[in-house]
Structure 1
Amino acid sequence: MTVPPPAALRHIDGAVARAALTYPGLIDALRDAFAAGTIAAPLRGHYPMDDGAGATNIFLVMPAYQPGAYTGVKLVTVAPGNGARGLDSVIGLYVLFDGASGAPLLTVDGSALTVRRTPAASALAARYLARADAKTLLVVGAGNLAPHVVEAYRAVRPGLSRVLIWNRNADKARAVAAVTGAEAVEDLVTAVAGADIVSAITMSRTPLIRGEWLKPGCHVDLIGGFTPEMREADDAAIARARLFVDTREGALHEAGDLADPLRRGLISAADIAADLADLCAGRHPGRRDASDITLFKSVGTALEDLVAAAFLHRSLAP
């Protein structure tokens, strides 16, 4: 990465960050970073905390650095009770530093950074894993991420002619459909069975997507679960699919969709076909057959945050 010279420390608010973190530019930046392999991103610190009202928040600390370029850390809280407070469930701050001098360069609204970089990583995986002729995208979940997921997938699969939104709360599905030009659906079984791409963005602890519903050639993208207790897809879906992850270390330790069947001996670490670094560097071709069912599990990595913050810094440099 080329680092613009340090200037006065500035804060990038959510609206500016979301507008500047454009697809497919961010997707390409992530591709280049995963392929290069020069960013170190230790496993995030994961700290459950009582919110004082009977619920448990999770505080995450996510550092990453690229020698001679950038260093950064995301400080983020996942607060399930924030809906009742009128706040995003994922909220925080990112701080970017010059990797050579250590000078702070900018701070960024952490929620805005997360809602852009997370779908970008899934869309990047879909470049290699989803069928090129995919026509129907189903988004399972209607939270803050949903419109960004739709936008990111349209950037890498412009042939999508039908986008479906499902949510337990049908009113929320209709609200997302209205702002994305999608179609709200209430029958999850039929929607999954007809989808070429299924992207799940929930915090479910019980599987919503069942393997028996998946049609040949489907690509499944599991975004929401980020603890060992969370499951968005059942064992049959995991067993039917060829498995891919953003990072092996994170997905196998933190993602219940893989960590749970791994713990019970239903899969082994060797069943992970590739991670994003393998795909982007050309060490694995991704989808090999039109009838393959592929499954990408992401838990998020601090590499993605650093790339997004650096992308912002370069984009907004005077």
Structure 2
Amino acid sequence: MKTELLFMKQEDVIAAGALDMQKILELVEKVFYLQGHEQIINPPKTVFGIPIGEEPQSHFFSMPVYIGGDVNRPGIKWAAESKTNAKTGNLPMGIDMIILSDPVTVQPVAIMDGMVITAMRTAAAAGVAAKYLAPDDAKVAGLVGAGVIGRTMIMALKEVIPSLKQIKLCDLNTEKARNLADEFKGEIEIILSDNVENAVSGADIVATMTTSKKPFVKSEWVKTGAMVIQMSSYEVEAGVVEKSDKIVVDSWEQMKENELSIINQLVKKGSLDEKDIWSLSKVVCGTKPGRENKDEITMFSSRGMGSLDIIIGDYLYKEAMKKGLGQRLVLWDEAKWV
């Protein structure tokens, strides 16, 4: 029996709806809801760096997932990051692929580019967190990082925070920051800041989207009642975490595998108790409260969950089938040794 699968290049993924942030937010929130009802299998990602025995120049991530409920989709995300690409600018730093399988026959049904999906779902996770944890009348966001996630973060915050009026944007590459601000001209006011303190101080929402391995956000810059979003492992000083009244993560099971995480480091030192770290799924499902008053400081930190990629990939695959997108590939004409 011939087995076919759908191959979706990046253009197909976009044509199927990958840039629809409103829909991506809906799907991402559904993942956290299903996770809270134990309908998702999402083991910690496997990570390794190469070359062996040297400072890693490339990293690879394997993320197998099963999403139950009415989705019923197993799949895997294969992700990779290259320092060489980041330096040369000839290729994206991160290159990702998503594979979806049939839950019964286990045949692969789709292979698709995962780069745009990664960028959208990463910011959407923060967007869902902001929906529950940001100040009700947040007007100013201070963003550090004008890369790919900086772009999608603006998209997500615009969608979930209707009161947002202004974004203060900072990046080491001022040209990149200027270009990103130009992309959103006429949609929201973006002011370029020449340093992190100016961008962060006084902001109702602080968001960091960088590749930094050293903290650069000081606790005294975070005002009372703000929400802090940390998309990398260690962008805020320990004092920011300790100052937060609520600490929420996408998945503690994922994050505690990450030695670089400032939250994980504080737990290991004994200065932070695991029970004081909540998964976003508990907030979405109502077993833990979101923001409770205007003065509390809330923090969301993300490690990245493959289940977000798979639910979006499943949706885009179904949309592609409806729209006639993608290319049919044959895995075999007749299986050997059945």
TM-score (norm 1): 0.90
Q: Aligned partners of 2:219, 2:307: CA distance in 1, in Å?
A: 31
Q: How does 1:121-200 map to 2 (within 5 A)?
A: 121-181=125-185, 182-200=190-208
Query: RMSD in angstroms over aligned alpha carbons?
Result: 2.0
The 5-angstrom pairing of residues 1-318 of structure 1 reads: 8-18=4-14, 20-21=17-18, 22-37=20-35, 38-50=39-51, 55-67=56-68, 69-83=72-86, 84-181=88-185, 182-225=190-233, 231-241=234-244, 242-254=246-258, 256-272=261-277, 274-318=278-322
1:206 and 1:130 map into 2 onto residues whose CA distance is 25
Residue 127 of structure 1 aligns to a residue whose secondary structure is helix
Tell me by how many angstroms 1:101 deviates.
2.4
Per-residue deviation, 1:70: 0.9
3-state DSSP of counterpart to 2:65? strand
The answer to whether the 8 A contact 1:88-1:144 is kept is no
Q: List per-residue Cα deviations over 1:180-225 (Å, max 9, x = no partner).
A: 2322211321221121111111111110111111011111111123
State the structure with bigger RCO (CA 8 A, min sep 6), 1 or 2. 2
Relative to structure 1, the CA distance from residue 175 to residue 52 in structure 2 (aligned partners, 3 Å threshold; closer, same or farther) is farther
**Separation in 1, partners of 2:217, 2:270:** 21
- Structure 2 Cα separation of the partners of residues 8 and 199 of structure 1: 43
**Count, aligned residues:** 306
CA displacement, residues 119-152 of structure 1 (integer Å, 9 cap, x when unaligned):
1111011110001211112221121221111001
Amino acid at match of 2:21: Y
The CA distance in 1 between the partners of 2:124 and 2:131, in whole Å, is 11
Output the amino acid matched with 1:195: A
Amino acid at match of 2:308: E
Q: Secondary structure at the match of 1:317?
A: helix
Asked whether the 8 Å contact 1:66–1:99 carries over to 2, the reply is no
1:3 paired residue number: none
Which segment drifts farther, 199-208 or 30-39? 30-39
Please say if residues 129 and 280 of structure 2, whose CA atoms lie closer than 8 Å, have aligned partners that are also in contact: yes
Distance 1:232-1:61 versus aligned 2 partners, 3 A rule? same
Deviation of residue 299 (structure 1)? Answer: 0.5
Q: 1:55 & 1:299 partners in 2: Cα distance?
A: 19
Shift of 1:169: 2.0
List 4+ stretches of structure 1 deviating above 3 A. 51-55
Whether the aligned pair in 1 keeps the contact of 2:119 and 2:152 (CA below 8 Å) is: yes
Amino acid at match of 2:169: I
Kept in 2: contact 1:185–1:191 (CA 8 A) = yes
Consecutive unaligned residues in structure 1, runs of 5 or more: 1-6, 226-230
Assess if the C-alpha contact under 8 Å between 2:65 and 2:76 holds in 1. Answer: yes
Q: Following the alignment from structure 1 to structure 2, what is the Cα–Cα distance between the partners of residues 150 and 8?
A: 38
Q: Counterpart of 2:184 in structure 1: which amino acid?
A: T
Q: TM-score scaled by structure 2?
A: 0.85
TM superposition shift of 1:69: 1.6
**Residues 311/240 of structure 1: CA separation in 2 closer, same or farther (3 Å cut):** same
Quick check: 2:143–2:199 contact (8 Å CA) kept in 1? Answer: no
Percent identity over the alignment is 26
Q: What is the rounded CA distance, in whole Å, between the counterparts of 1:39 and 1:296 in structure 2?
A: 21
User: Relative to structure 1, is the Cα distance of residues 143 and 305 closer, same or farther in structure 2, using a 3 angstrom cutoff?
Assistant: same
Give yes or no for contact 1:223–1:297 (8 Å, CA) kept in 2.
yes
Secondary structure at 2:106 match in 1? coil
Larger radius of gyration: 2
Give the secondary-structure state (helix, strand or coil) at the position aligned to 2:74. Answer: strand
1:53 Cα shift? 10
* Kept in 2: contact 1:70–1:100 (CA 8 A): no
